[in-house]
Amino acid sequence: MSEQVFLLPDLGEGLTEAEIVEWRVAVGDVVTVDQTVVEVETAKAVVDVPCPYAGRVVALHGAAGEVRPVGQPLITVAALDGDAASDGGGAPEPAGHATYREEERAGSGNVLIGYGTGHAPGRRRRRPRLAVVPEPVVASAPVAVAPARAGTPESVGRNGAAPLVISPIVRRLAREHGLDLATLTGSGPGGVVRRADVEAAVATATSAPLAAVPARPDGPAPTGEDLVVPLTGIRKAIADKLSRSRREIPEVTIWVDVDATGLLETRAVINAARPEQPVSILALLARICLSGLRRYPQLNARVDTEGQRIIQSAGVHLGIAAQTDRGLVVPVLRDAQRLTTADLAAALAETTAAARSGTLAPARLTGGTFTLNNYGVFGVDGSTPIINHPEAALLGVGRIVDKPWVVDGQLAVRKVTQLSLTFDHRVCDGGVAGGFLRHVADCVEQPALLIAAV
């Protein structure tokens, strides 16, 4: 019987490996061309991987949680009896399969699109999938939760129905802590179990035994094994990128407090006049940043260390720092300077929603030239953020709160925020950085100045 081995393809942007999150097929299943066979997590996104071959699955190379290098076997599929690719007939291989192998050798992302779509699909037979119960992770205190039972369907609820779980990250987190998802009540829409639900259950189970056993003043300190969390996937990518930024970039942070009352009033006027296209504060801040970068293009740049040169980008590819369940990501709005304020608001809403749901393509997470970071959503005033390598600058915005402020010589309560600019001292000196930050601050305090600058 003829067999085809599907190698893990390059999933884009030169990624070298991917972690298996969940197999969608089992050995013995019949698959068709373009059928999704596995869900993997790269350093940038969770991706469904389709198989370009049809036939019966004879081998799965790797288990859930295992990291597979690009170009290594992922799944082996055998042709069905009577298939044109079966043994002994000497029939030519479908053209799509040869095309796939050439694309694969070239490292093309096109391997995610199946070939040979005219190939007659085989019947698909699904076998019941059983829960895989990993060895429990030993934390510093016992986790008083019931693990899933081997040989039974994964996470069957008390009413006999499976719990609503959408995110593979939530499933993996539950497995790592030996947590039965059927015991949880989801806080998401329609009862969907979210990451916060799993983390809360783990925290409750971990802290309960500690509260039940009083500490003895004369007794030994509690002992136990540390929780070891592998540095993989997006967490590893974040660690590598931030470490490189700190190693290579001589960064400086400057900041200023500003009265944002006028900006909030301007937003209210815009949204009252055009309720069908509301704009956010983040969109207005993005517009102000674009105005500042037009005046100070030195900050819309990167340093080419090998070529010993500074490259100023012709367009502003605006990165927006977004916190997600998988970690911090920076999706990019390419050529943001071409967008109107309303377009910016719509693009920001769509992009941040897609980032948090994990549906952004890997290409949307690279290529930025300047980053806007609204860390005020975490309830903090200031920060000294690390530059998103290889960019040269990042503007941070703190929370907007009521504070006493002097207006025309009189003390008043105003909406005040702190702006911080972290910049690469190799691309400019303090005069340029201070000029940019002052321009942004002036536009926040007096939005009418923005109109004069655009």
Looking up tokens 């056993």 gives: 213
Phi, psi of 137 (to 5 degrees): -80, 130
- Sheet arrangement for strand 17-23: 46-51, 35-41, 17-23, 67-69
CA distance 237 to 244: 11
Looking up tokens 């829409």 gives: 189
Identify the three-state secondary structure at position 211: helix
- Cα dihedral across residues 122, 127, 131, 132: positive or negative: negative
The DSSP string of 258-309 is EE-HHHHHHHHHHHHH-TTS---HHHHHHHHHHHHHHH-GGGSEEEETTTTE
CA dihedral 328, 332, 336, 342 (to 10 degrees): -60
Contact (CB, 8 A) for 424 and 253: no
425 a catalytic residue: yes
- Of 61, 317, 389, 425, the active-site residue reads 425
Q: Which residues are catalytic?
A: 425
